[in-house]
Amino acid sequence: MDNPDPSAHPNASTSRALGNIALAGLLVFSIVAVAVQVLRSDLDWMDAPLSFYLLDAYGHWLQAAYIVLASALAALGAGYYLALRDGRRSAAPWLLFVCAGVGLCATALAHSNLPGRAPTLEGFVHGIAAQTAFLCVSVAMLLQSWWLRANPRWRSRFAPAFALALACFAGIWVDALWHGMPRGLEQRLVIALILAWLLLAANWLRRQRAA
Cα angle 140, 171, 96; round to 5:
15
pLDDT band (50, 70, 90) for residue 57: confident
pLDDT band (50, 70, 90) for residue 148: very high
Alpha helices in the chain (DSSP H): 12-39, 59-83, 92-109, 121-149, 158-177, 183-206
138, 168 contact by CB (below 8 A): yes
62, 54 contact by CB (below 8 A): yes
> How far, in Å, CA of 196 to CA of 201, rounded?
9
> How many other C-beta atoms are found inside a 10 Å radius of the C-beta of residue 56?
11
pLDDT at 1 over 60: no
Candidates 95, 63, 62; CA nearest to 76 is: 95
Range 167-191 average pLDDT? 89
Residue 114 is predicted with a pLDDT of: 85
> How far, in Å, CA of 177 to CA of 152, rounded?
38
What confidence tens digit (pLDDT) does each residue in 119-131 have?
899 999 999 999 9
Range 51-74 average pLDDT? 95
pLDDT at 3 over 70: no
Query: How far is residue 130 CA from its own chain's centroid?
Result: 12
208, 8 contact by CB (below 8 A): no
Residue 4 is predicted with a pLDDT of: 47
- State the pTM of this model: 0.90
> How far, in Å, CA of 63 to CA of 52, rounded?
11
pLDDT at 180 over 80: no
Residue 5 is predicted with a pLDDT of: 46
Domain residue limits, the chain: 12-206
Question: Which of 39-49 are b and which e, b meaning 16 or more Cβ less than 10 Å from the residue's Cβ?
Answer: ebeebebeebb
* CB proximity list for 134: less than 8 A, separation 6 or greater: 100, 172, 190, 194
- HSE (side-chain half, CA atoms, 13 Å) at 150: 15
pLDDT band (50, 70, 90) for residue 209: low
Range 30-38 average pLDDT? 96
Query: How far is residue 34 CA from its own chain's centroid?
Result: 16
Question: When comparing pLDDT for 150 and 138, which is higher?
Answer: 138
Mean pLDDT of the residues in the chain? 90
What confidence tens digit (pLDDT) does each residue in 90-118 have?
999 999 999 999 999 999 999 998 888 88
- Report the share of the chain in percent with pLDDT over 90: 73
Range 153-158 average pLDDT? 91
Candidates 192, 77, 55, 190; CA nearest to 143 is: 77
